[in-house]
Structure 1
């Protein structure tokens, strides 16, 4: 069995840790705690951690090409200024229900943002996947689900993976040069008892890593959908991983305390922390958002 050297690197005990992203120009990891409305930045070289408060639930942070950061708040996309903690509105998905919030996101090689929304009450099939390009948000055309997750882009920029968390299915669609999607086809369905698929990311070998909510870890699938690896982590609710470090060969995983009762929290005191492990493969650099 491979030793992945799993460890806690930042004990934040997040209610709903999510959206880890490695920002290469800073050599730092950014992530959020959606329910606590917190934005976190972690510098693994120095161990320094910073935290900002967001004005609403914040689903993700992404670096922008102009050197700033873009935040996915419940109310839409905003520019975030770490210097003073301010937020400036950019765009929102028109017509998205008021009970929805933004949940997960990724950029493609052209700097477009692919992001999903979801019903905050986790009951209605109102979650959709959107594309942000040149300041405009458009519906991707993918079928609505209750909880969207893990928009992940293959390294060559031609494939998008989209997760229906409640349906326990990851879908795959081709991305055209103009950003339009081809028909979505099922890629992987998570079997009963293994948890629900949450965030995902593609590595440098084209394999998809999927975090498992209620599944105590992450899985790695090859491009054909075959399960080829599993890493167990010390918390049941793993939400997403990001590849980071100077060589993109360290995996960082966010986790959540949400939904765990006192007995469960006693059994997993590290729940909600930021973990790191050695995945044995490199990741793909994150393309900053083109504004």
Structure 2
């Protein structure tokens, strides 16, 4: 497999910390967040039109819900987000505010369960955790993270991948049909930049953006590195597969942490990029237990 073209900036969002791209086929649109800019963005590739909404706290992710709405993971907890009104309604807080954590990155699996992580906002304390929301409620599934990213799930639904960004490790877990995790193990160690949000394609390969790494990487299901795609910006945060054939990859980026000189040299940092691939991604699922 090889990328058909080089990554191109399709929307100059100027996101300080772009994250969480989601392709919603019903909209033919790519949604994503700017965590530090406190924004939610929607971009329509066919027309180039874009909209944005102000969030009341740092948004780590948004996830589509089967009733047509959205769940937004903010620093203050899980909220229902209505783009028509721009309103955010608190569903539940997740962690004690004294931890100074925020929610960071989420994923909906094929059973309609919402998975997401928390992380220390100051990026120093190991207070982050991995959570699952389903019909049984909110469950903490793993702990001991400073910066969480992901998760993502294999095409057969039997393996869940989750990233410890500061340790530069992508973990794999066995995922039971009921949503329980076991057999945590190292899937891949990253030797350049910091692994950010992962995504899985139809062949079961894992794509991950590299923060401060100038690339995205594609790993085979056995953990072997098989593809690298170079970007014109250093901080690539997460990928999503979109378009009618799910072969257009969209990637969020960030200018967070760049000096003025670095920003001048990377004028497209914080933009939304896309490139084409030969292997389709997996369809975006919707939360069914909100």
Structure 1 length-normalised TM? 0.96
Cα pair distance change 1:170/1:97, threshold 3 Å: farther
RMSD in angstroms over aligned alpha carbons? 1.3
The residue aligned with 1:232 is 230
Q: Does 1:110 align with 2:111?
A: yes
Unaligned ranges ≥5, structure 2 = none
Which residues of structure 1 form unaligned runs of 5+?
Answer: none
In structure 1, the residue corresponding to 2:61 is in which secondary structure? strand
In the TM superposition, residue 173 of structure 1 has moved relative to its aligned partner by 0.2
Aligned counterparts of 1:60 and 1:160: Cα–Cα separation in 2: 18
Is the aligned partner of 1:167 residue 2:167? yes
Q: Which residue among 192, 215, 218 is the counterpart of 2:213? A: 215
- C-alpha distance in 2, partners of 1:122/1:52? 26
Q: Which moved more, 1:77-86 or 1:94-103?
A: 94-103
Aligned to 1:54: 55
Deviations 1:75-127 (A, max 9, x none): 11111111110011112324575300000110111110110000000000011
The structure 2 residue matched to 1:205, chosen from 203, 207, 213, is 203
**Are 1:273 and 2:266 counterparts?**
no
Task: Report the counterpart of residue 46 of structure 2 in structure 1.
Answer: 45
Q: 1:49 to 1:273 in 2, by over 3 A?
A: same
Residues 173 and 46 of structure 1, relative CA distance in 2, 3 Å threshold:
same
- Secondary structure at the counterpart of residue 274 of structure 2: strand
Q: How does 1:56-95 map to 2 (within 5 A)?
A: 56-95=57-96
Q: Does the 8 Å contact 1:20/1:32 carry over to 2?
A: yes
Separation of aligned partners in 1, 2:153 and 2:110? 9
Deviation at 1:177, TM superposition (A): 1.5
Distance 1:280 1:97, change over 3 A: farther
Partner of 2:99, secondary structure, is coil
1:6-25 aligned at under 5 Å gives the runs: 6-25=7-26
Q: Answer yes or no: is 1:152 the counterpart of 2:152.
A: yes
2: CA distance between counterparts of 1:202 and 1:281? 10
Question: Residue 122 of structure 1 corresponds to which residue in structure 2?
Answer: 123
CA distance in 2, matches of 1:22, 1:3: 20
1:28 counterpart residue number: 29
Equivalent-residue separation in structure 2 for 1:96 and 1:125 (angstroms): 15
Deviation at 1:213, TM superposition (A): 0.4
Partner of 2:133: 132
Residues 223-245 of structure 1, C-alpha deviation per residue, up to 9 Å, x if partnerless?
Answer: 00000101111110000010001
